[in-house]
Structures are given as structure tokens and as C-alpha cells.
A and B are shown apart, each in its own frame.
Chain A
Amino acid sequence: MANINTAIKAEARDLNFFYSNGARALKGISMPLYENKITALIGPSGCGKSTFLRCFNRMHDLYPGNKYEGQIVMYPDNTNVLDAGVDPIEVRMRISMVFQKPNPFPKSIYENVAYGLRVRGENNKRIMDDKVEEALKGAALWNEVKDRLHDLAFNLSGGQQQRLCIARALATDPEIMLFDEPTSALDPIATANIEELMVELRSKLTILVVTHNMQQAARVSDYTAYMYLGELIEYDDTDRIFTNPGRKETEDYITGKFG
């Protein structure tokens, strides 16, 4: 099925996840993320897409009582990011995340982008300036904000704020970028901008994107995974999933017979 000439960047192996209330939100998920490719997660609301995505950067560690079982292995170093001996902060240094609703910090545009560098102890102004500019260019926001880098980030439009969050995530040169429904709070034009941006970013890093919008998955992704009730129903090339899915459930979902 998948293109074997491409390297695998990360891989979930028999991943189970339990929320603190005991609910098993992920059931034995195994699937790869190919390097410099976009993998999309689709499925009806509540099927566990966000839960799965947030395992990669150990976001569930923020809330007591959550439990992972299984592995998420990163290559080429073969690190299991879920291992109790692995520092979640180190994981988040390598895997960054863009959220559903833009969540800039109550700081200037510049300081938002510089945030990840600052928490890593970077203080050199020259390096910082360069990195901020590069990240804002990478997020296709530079031209719009270069004259007001020290304005409060909240003054930007929703689409600009989301691109700022992408710049913020880009500034630290992550290996993998996670997107959780990054366009669900945006208008169609801003959505198109973000989609275009994701496709451009693919050459630099590996992307995992949750989307509730199947057209979006079809437009931007190389691989697609269909989840239902915490299980991975089908994973394949995006083209295959949308033209000739292997499972009846996938087809029903894609053709809108269900969900």
C-alpha cells in the first residue's frame, strides 16, 4: 500500500489510551507517519482523532490520571515518546502543535513567535530576529506584519492569528507538526491560505492533521486514516481512500451515508 521508498518519521504501535475516568478512547491503533508527507485523520466527531493526535506530544500528561499503553516510536533514533523515562518537554521540543482555535499569547506578534526560542533559553537578539522573520515568512505572514511586529497579537484577524500560531510552532524547527482541525474556526479564504501553507511546509517537516472536513483531507493529504469509536478502521493513500476504499465503513462515511 504505502510508498516504501519514503522513510517513516514516526509510528504508533498498538496504541491504547485511557482518560482518567477510565474511558478507553483509543483501541490498539497502529499506523505510520511518513516523513515529509501529510497524514490526515478523519472520522465522525468523538471518534478519538484529537485524543490520538495529542498522544504524539504527550499533551495528555497535563491532566492527572490519563494513561497511555503501547508505543509511539520516532525515527531515526527509535525513541518511544510515550516511555515514562522520556521527558515530555523534550518531546514537545521536537513535535509542535497548532490548535483548533487560534490561541496566541497575550504578547506582541514578535514575542509570540519568539516564545519557543525563549523557553529554550535563546537570548541572542540577532538569532532571535532572524528566526522570527524566517518563521513568519514560513507561515506566509511576514508581509502582513513586518511593520507592526510589536503590536499585540490579539489585534490580528482570526486567519492571521492561526498563521501566527503556525509561525510560533515553526520557529523552533520541529520535526513533526500536529494540526488539530486548524481551519474549523476560519472563513474559506483563510482556510485556503492555511491549506496552501501546510502543503508548502511538507518539504520541511512531517505533518499529522485532524480534519472534520473530508474535502480538506482529500486536497492536502498524502495519506488518510479513518477512525471510528477509537479504532483505526482504515489507513491508506489518500487517493485510494477517496476513490476506492477497502472497507465498507470508510466508503459509507466518505459518501456521506453516515456521519
Chain B
Amino acid sequence: MATQAMQAPMELTISPRLAKNIRRNVKERIIELILMLAALTAVATTFAIVGVLLYESVSFFKTVSVVEFFTATEWTPLFEDAHYGIMPLVSGTLTTSAIALAVAVPIGTITAIFLSEFASHKARETVKPILELLVGVPTVVFGYFALFFVTPLLQSVYPELPSFNMLSAGIVMGVMIIPYIASLSEDAMRAVPMSMREGSYAMGATRFQTAIKVVAPAATSGIVAAYILAVSRAVGETMVVAVAAGQQPTLTFNPLEGAATITAYIVQVAMGDLPHGSIGYQSIFAAGLVLMVMTLSFNIIGHWIRKKYREHY
């Protein structure tokens, strides 16, 4: 309506009612603009991060060939005899994350099923705050918990285990992300309409059968979303692995060895005082770029799975 008025030939006068509309329109536009700017802040920050990552990485790849980056089996950018193979960091990241997920996915999902389908109102109101408390614990605390408690515990079973190892770091990281999986999966399962549960009970199903065969499948998309968030958390987690898995880049998938992850390397280098523009400085951006691509691919896979299993009720 307003656009029509603005497009109208100049000689036509605008009636007072239309003029008022325009003023209101302007006000609306300004509000819209403010809202959009707020939203843009987040988007702009993301773009800025990606921009810096790309910019510094480009300088990095002027010195180091992409082929070497992906095929060399050593990562020693700060040594005299420098090697630039990212794979040792990737293997450390993937191994610790896989262990974490192996711990967190089953325990988190079972916890969610228990909370959503079996726990009384009172039990749920007791357990949920405790889980949320776990989320609030600083990750460095988990790191030292792994190093000084879990590792000695594992060593009492397997004495050859080195002090820095990926198993301990992975397990503790898994414990750390249980609340994410449990809480989000529980939300997804509780969102399944009661009518669907009633349909199952009316067929003579038990509570357990109803939870496993009807409620969990109905909540698949939300549960997958929880897993994906957990993967991103695990891959991006820094302190636990930096403290407990060691900072020695090693190309290995053996959980009983120590290794550095991408994040552990970044924090290690960032804490030192490398001159800007040096190859060591640029290497953390190249590593960061790889980390971002990994997280992004997990998110895309998750998005795709969620779309496939979108709820139909």
C-alpha cells in the first residue's frame, strides 16, 4: 500500500491518512533495522572469524604445501626441523572424541529415557538440576580430574598406561557431555504426544517397550540433534585434552597413548609468545580452519539426518 503511494506521480497530493501510514511505516522500518543489526552482530562475528582464519591460513599455505599439510605424519611447526602434517592432531581429536561419544551417547540416552519415561516427577526434579550443575563445572576442573583421578584409577588396572593418555581424557570428556545428550534428548522425548504413548499401552505394551519402540523413534530428530551438539562439543573441547591427553602430537588412534588434539595445540601455541606473522603463529589458524571444517561437516550431517527423520505428528 505504502509503496504504491510512493510510486504515485508527484502532482497527486497524499491524503493525510496515507501520510500517517508512511510515518508508521518508517517507524516500523527503523525497528526492523535495529533488530536486523542485532542479528547481524552474530553473523558478522562468524564471518570475521572465518575471514581471519582464511586470511592467516592463506599465508600459511604460501610456505607449506597443502599436500604436505594433509599427508605428512609429523606436526612440529615450532621445531628447528619443522614438519607440518595436520594428521597427528586430527587423529588425536577424532580418537578422544570417539571415546567421549562411546561413553556419553549410551549413558546420556539411557538417562534421558529414564528421566522422560520412568522417573517420577520428584525423581526428575532432583536429577535434572544435578545434571545441569555438571554443565556449569569449568572444563579445566574436568581436565585435572582426568589427570589426577581417572588416570591413576586406570593405571591400577593397566600399569603400563602413560600419565598422559587419550583414554582417560576421552572418558572424562564423555562424562562432561552426558548432560547435554541427556537433557536435550529428554526434551525431545517429552515432546512426543501422550496420545502416541497411549496407543502403545493400549496395545498391551509395557512401559519399557513403549519407551524403546515408540517414544524414542518418535523423538529421533531431537535425539540426533543432541548427538550432533555433543560431537561438536567433543571435537571443540580444549582443556580436558590439553591437561590429560598430553600435548605431544602423535599420529595414533590408540587410546592408551598420549596425543595432542587440534584445540590442545592451539591453546599451547597461543599461550606462548610467538611473533605475529611467523609460520608457527599462522599454523594455529590453519589448524583452526581444519577444526571448523570438521565441526561444520558434523553439523551438516546432523542437519541432513534430522530432516530425514522430522517428526510427523
Contact = CB atoms under 8 A, between A and B. Distances in A.
Interface of A: 57, 59, 62, 89-90, 92-93, 96-97, 99, 101, 103-107, 115-116, 118-120, 152, 154, 165, 168-169, 172
Contact of B218 (A99, A106, A169): A106
A96 B214 contact: no
Contacts of B198: 59, 62, 99, 103
A119 B203 contact: yes
B199 A92 contact: no
Interface of B: 193, 195-206, 209, 213-214, 217-218, 220, 311-313
A165 B312 contact: no
Contact of B202 (A57, A101, A120): A57
Contacts of B195: 99, 101, 103
A89 B311 CA distance: 28
A171 B206 CA distance: 18
B204 A120 contact: yes
Nearest to A57: B202
Contacts of B197: 62
B201 A116 contact: no
A55 B199 CA distance: 15
Given A59-B201, A92-B204, A118-B213, 16 more contacts: A62-B197, A90-B204, A92-B201, A92-B202, A92-B203, A99-B202, A103-B199, A106-B214, A106-B217, A106-B220, A115-B205, A119-B204, A119-B206, A154-B313, A168-B203, A169-B202
- Which of B193, B204, B218, B313 counts the most chain A CB atoms within 10 A? B204
A109 to B, nearest CB: 13
17 contacts: A59-B201, A59-B202, A92-B203, A96-B202, A96-B203, A99-B195, A99-B198, A103-B196, A105-B200, A105-B214, A106-B217, A119-B203, A119-B204, A119-B213, A120-B204, A165-B199, A172-B203
Contacts of B220: 106
Nearest to B195: A103
Contact of B203 (A90, A101, A115, A154): A115
A105 B216 CA distance: 11
A193 B137 CA distance: 60
| Closest 7 A/B residue pairs (Cβ) | A154-B312, A92-B204, A97-B202, A103-B199, A116-B203, A119-B205, A93-B204
Contacts of B312: 106, 152, 154
Contacts of B214: 105-106
Nearest to B311: A106
Contacts of B202: 57, 59, 92, 96-97, 99, 169
A169 B203 contact: yes
Nearest to B205: A119
Contact of A89 (B199, B206, B213, B217): B206
Contacts of B201: 59, 62, 92
Nearest to A165: B199
A105 B217 contact: yes
Nearest to A94: B204
A107 B197 CA distance: 14
A168 B214 CA distance: 14
Contacts of B205: 89, 115, 119
Contacts of A99: 195, 198-199, 202
B206 to A, nearest CB: 7
B210 to A, nearest CB: 9
Nearest to A93: B204
A118 B203 CA distance: 10
Given A99-B195, A103-B195, A106-B312, A115 B218 contact: no
Contacts of A59: 198, 201-202
A89 to B, nearest CB: 5
B81 to A, nearest CB: 58
A104 B313 CA distance: 9
A168 B203 CA distance: 8
Contacts of A169: 202-203
Interface centre among A115, A118, A120, A154 (most CB of B within 10 A): A115
Contacts of B204: 89-90, 92-93, 116, 119-120, 172
User: Which of B193, B197, B213 counts the most A-chain CB atoms under 10 A from its CB?
Assistant: B213
Contacts of A62: 197-198, 201
